Chains A and B, each alone.
Chain A
Amino acid sequence: MRLSPDEIIFWQHGFLKLNATILFTWGLMLVLAVASKLITHRLSIGLKRSRWQNLLEIIVTAIEKQIEEVGLSQPRKYLGFLGTLFLFVGAASLCTVIPGYESPTGSLSTTAALALCVFVAVPLFGIWERGMGGYLTSYMKPTFIMLPFNIISELSRTLALAVRLFGNMMSGAMIIGILLTITPFLFPIVMTLLGLLTGMVQAYIFFILATVYIAAGTRVRKSTAEPKVNIEA
């Protein structure tokens, strides 16, 4: 039983290796970049525009709006990072309908990498927004006693982020794999549809959690009232 696409290794040279996760990620990157390039190749700034452009505009503006709703007043600063998180995870989930495809998000390495990125991005954005001192003192709020707990929370939430996505994506693939052996025809299709849904939900959760973390890290804490978002899978 294979738990992760990391296990499919095409080429290896000592530490360096080329497994399915990396390969499919490249594939996704290629598809996303080429599609974006093709669609944005001829953008219309007039009132008439192509369907594809319209679709992209809807997606981009929706992401922007979501970031703003969470509490980041300048969503365009964070759009590149957060938007790409959502698009990558979403695209990775959507592509599960393709036979033979192994979702890169089904690999704990990928989700851990994404979580690490968020883990690095939060303090970076925080320092960028509030300055080094301002950000660091936020760990000692409300009192310095809270410092270790804040650090633990920072680490644990990164771990949770990585495992949540991996667990969900991997479980989806696992369930389909198991069901295929029991009821070959009908159930896997239904489960694939369900997998698509959970994949999109996971993409959204991952994206929104990252946004919330960044919002919490960048917000100047004038009051003790913190945005309390509890989203669990």
Chain B
Amino acid sequence: MLIDWFTILAQAINFMLLVWLMKRFLYKPILHAIDEREKRITKELADADTKRSEAEKERERFQKKNEDFDRHRDELLSKVNNEAKSERQRLLDEARQAADVLRTKRQDALKREQQSLNDEITRRTRREVFAIARKTLTDLSGTSLEEVISEVFIRRVRELNNETREDLATALKTSSEPVLVRSAFELPSEQRSAIQRALNEEFSIEIQVRFESTPEVISGIELTSNGRKVSWSIADYLTSLEESIDELLKEQSRPEVQSEAKAALKPESGTKSTALEEHK
């Protein structure tokens, strides 16, 4: 008999037992291991994806930051550059201005110095000339300088050219105030009457004269009436002297523009001299 029923039963039970054993020891653990591994791989892949995207984001953020930083730096640099330029310009301007001010000051100081020197020279010269003239005149004729000056003034009044004379006459006539005669010294009564007389004779009217002594009119006499003036003083001579000294000083201080200075000065001195000649 090929079929044994007990064996069939036993084998069926055996097989069921084997199924249970296999399930217990083989399929479950193996499938579990495979599932776990798959889960793990999936998780790792997901993690990697997350990390990659995070890294990407991070990279983008850093890139943006870098760009911002660069732009900011460039802006700052250009700003600083501009500021430095403007500051430099400002400092230069300031320095230039300061230099200009200094130069102007120095020039002014120089001018003032020159001026004061000139004034001093003029003053001294006048005094010297006055002293020399006084001494000379005294020595020569025994007359005082005041006397001579008065005479000269009178002569000048008498020798006035027609135009001036008419102008002065009109002024004298229209003036309500007395004619002012100023002199550097107190005129003696003789001279006063001489001047009065000369004026009366010259303009053929009775002229009220007021005498005044001021040191401004250096060694001279000055007649003023209603804006018209006739004068003689040693200052006229001294002005001429002053101009020549001026010229001399300028030539010394600017030798390189000597020729130009000369050219510029010549006509000026020329006119002055003609004016002086006229005065004389």
Contacts and interface: CB of A to CB of B under 8 A. Distances in A.
Interface of A: 3-4, 6, 15-17, 19, 21-22, 25-26, 29, 32-33, 36-37, 40, 43-47, 49, 53, 56-57, 60-61, 76, 79-81, 83-84, 87-88, 104, 107-110, 112-114, 116-117
Contacts of B12: 113-114, 116-117
The prevalent SS among residues of B at the interface is helix
B6 A16 contact: yes
Interface string B27-44: 101111110110011000
Interface of B: 2-12, 14-19, 21-23, 25-27, 29-34, 36-37, 40-41
A12 B2 CA distance: 17
Contact of A40 (B4, B19, B25, B37): B25
B8 A36 contact: no
A112 B27 contact: no
B26 A17 contact: no
Contact of A43 (B15, B23, B29, B41): B29
Given A16-B6, A61-B34, A107-B7, A32 B15 contact: no
B27 A29 contact: no
A149 B124 CA distance: 166
A17 B1 CA distance: 15
Nearest to A40: B29
A53 B4 contact: no
B14 A26 contact: yes
A113 B41 CA distance: 42
Contact of A87 (B2, B22, B30, B40): B22
Contact of A45 (B15, B19, B23, B33): B33
